[in-house]
Structure 1
Amino acid sequence: MTRILDELGYYLLPGAGGAGPAGVLDEAKRGEELGFGTAFVSERWNIKEAATLSTAACAATTRLRVATAATNHNTRHPLITASWATTLHRLSGGRFTLGIGRGVPGLYDLFGIPSVTTAQMEEFARVMRTLWSGGVISDYDGPLGQYRTLYLDGNFREEIPLGLVAFGPKSLALGGRAFDDVVLHTYFGPGTLRRCSDTVKRAAVDADRDPDQVRVWSCLATIGDHLPEEVRRARLVGRLATYLQGYGDLMVRTNDWDPAVLKRFREDSVVQSIPGAIDRVATDEQLRHIEELFPASWTENAATGTPEECAARIRAEFEHGADRVILHGATADELAPIVAAYRAGDPATVAGAETAAERTDAPSR
């Protein structure tokens, strides 16, 4: 049997959502066919509402794990979120992971929503686990707000994994002590990946948890040369530029990049003229201009080149501290040649092929 690649994940409807939400059905099925272990759902407040897409992906598949990476805990009542997760956990036969993240402060300000704090995310994890274990919380007054009663069902004994999209040291440590999966950000270099992984694992040990039970996911932009040049530019340059729009200071600080480059990017007239997320609305001409605003080293922390070169880059992430790797920025179909190349170099796959050859060559009895 073909080995399930539990160590690999991919995103459904990557970026701005591709052809629309209906595409999630075929993308989930295709990822399961290719052998991915986990499909991730990222939330944008347009046509990528996480609960709907996660449910559709689970319904379209039979084995694939589906995880949000991420939704935000402060956009739904905690009982609604806990009930959604429990419902989908049972509907899918235990294949759902609820992953949250801090979100983009600028969007919160725009919509009048208070920004997320580390204390809130930690408390959210505690409250979810309490509700999923049949507990009741009365007269709550804490980081999540004020609630007279939080309760679902006293018979619940649900073991639903919790994920956290983490960036800074406080969030990384929180992931180690309170969550099951920690998803890192795209464009992290080997040194940054190692440091982040070490932070997560140390925090797990300090919290008397088994660090091997906390999975650190590298989020690796995976854009092979088999894609057209304009598509590659949109995925690499456009996506990085969008991150710099939303939280450039944190990106630069985490990777120890030159802040003067970020300043030049923000002050550029072309960047300022783009009305919205660059990866969604920028033209190829604009992206060509933006590509010149930051050094090539900023996009080198990605899997690019031939499928074989991409596969080698994926394997290197495990050497740099990742437990698992998300092939980010491409659909399952677009990733198919890279998955094939990865399998070709997989020791388990090679061993299985050799065993099959031996059986074929063996004399009949």
Structure 2
Amino acid sequence: MRRVVITGAGTINALGRDVATTLEAMREGRCGISDLKMRDLERLAIRIGGQVHDYVPEDRWNRQQIALYDRFTQFALIAAEEAIQQSGLSFTGKLAARSGVVLGTAGGGLSTSDENYRTVYEEGKNRVHPFIVPKLMNNAAASHVSMEHNLKGPTFTVATACASSNHAMGQAFHMIRSGMSDVMLTGGSEAMLCFGGLKAWEGLRVMSKDACRPFSLNRNGMVQGEGAAMFVFEDYDHAKARGAEILAEVIGFAMTSDAADIVMPSKQGAARAIQGAMTDAQLNSDDVGYINAHGTGTAANDKTECAAVADVFGHHADDLMISSTKSMHGHLIGGTGAVELLACIMALRDGVIAPTIGYEEPDPECALDVVPNEARDAKVDVVLSNAFAFGGLNAVLALRKFA
């Protein structure tokens, strides 16, 4: 099996509109969660989120493009462009045919759906734009990234709620490792911060009105975010031959299903995914130095995840660092694992562990080193990135420092 490395990264999210700004914010423990700005805000009980403020599509796209690009597609294109520029790749000929896109998203073009439901039901109009279907479909972002960059290989979208990005990146990893592809653009994008999207999430009663405080005893729910992160996954020999800068190596992946409950997480399912990624990567417990937690800030997730980590790592769990960057950028749902992978790369390359901000009170059921409130300098060689979704779907990636 071939080795898989990361040679490019790009992002846009509430913390920054590129990777450098985002990582700087993570190092500083900056909070990107703020008051939302949107139509009919007064009808919402939840009025905060990790929103990309002052983003004006018309500054970047023409009218014809905006007619085709939902907000989640725009975010994916922005992140993909940065990632490809960093990689230095140009997709022509044989390489184009052996390169593709796997993107994670849960809601797809939810903003487009929301706007057009208003048009039909609220305004009473009988016609909508003829491109609404290609604009709102979940595969739109992956398709537009492939068209923009001439990626002619396997291209599709994964929709597994909050694990979508990790599932997508895991599939990209498998495709390169197996020899199916040489390069894959992968990651996730989400833009659920619209009235209908937030109103639906309000119904679950898992949202916080003031802050995201993962692992803190006084946490009171998750906070939604938006944005995208994309990565260039590449066959190591291909990257080495062209002298590419390598950000990290992807060494393992596992996915499991709880087969138990549509919303309540399972310690056993999460533990099997964590252990599976370590087994796939041929790791021992003491090889892992940092875990980027799913860490939503809900009581059910945080306790279950900590219990799963304790089960897998045993006494070594006390030596692990585990943090949730959702406390800073919010929960990007289908795009969240991709943005969180940036923190994993920062830990490996820069020796900086992103903090869990908003941490105020220790929880006896989350008695791990959650890197509270301030980033930490620490040398780690192997990291894990957890994602656990509604539907009981779990996906864990393992990465190693490239030397």
The structure having more radius of gyration, on CA atoms, is 1
Higher relative contact order (CA 8 A, sep 6+): 2
TM-score (norm 2): 0.29
TM-score (norm 1): 0.31
Kindly indicate which of the two structures has a greater share of residues assigned to helix.
1
